[in-house]
Amino acid sequence: MLEFNATLLAQVVHFLILLIFLRFVAYKPLIKLLSDRQRLIENNINAAEQERQQAGQLKEELESDLRRAREQAQDIIQKAAKAAEDQAVEIIENAKNEAKRLKESALAEIQREKDKAVAEMRDQAASLAVLAAGKILERQIDDKIQHELVREFVKEAGELLC
Angle, CA 120 vertex, CA 114 and CA 125 arms, to 5°: 120
From the CB of 1, what's the least distance to another protein, in Å? Answer: 11
Smaller CB distance to another protein: residue 37 or 59? 37
Smaller CB distance to another protein: residue 5 or 140? 5
Does 42 engage in binding with another protein (CB under 8 A)?
Answer: no
- How crowded is the C-beta side of 92, counted as CA atoms within 13 Å? 6
Does 45 engage in binding with another protein (CB under 8 A)?
Answer: no
Residue by residue, DSSP assigns 106-126 as HHHHHHHHHHHHHHHHHHHHH
Instruction: Please tell me what DSSP assigns to residue 1.
Output: -
Q: Could you count the other beta carbons within 10 Å of the beta carbon of residue 117?
A: 10
From the CB of 46, what's the least distance to another protein, in Å? Answer: 18
- Using CB under 8 A as the binding rule, the residues of this chain from 2 to 41 that contact another protein are 2, 4-12, 14-15, 17-19, 21-23, 25-27, 29-30, 33-34, 36-37, 40
From the CB of 78, what's the least distance to another protein, in Å? Answer: 60
Smaller CB distance to another protein: residue 27 or 78? 27
Smaller CB distance to another protein: residue 6 or 136? 6
Q: Could you count the other beta carbons within 10 Å of the beta carbon of residue 134?
A: 13
Q: How far apart are CA 47 and CA 41, in angstroms?
A: 10
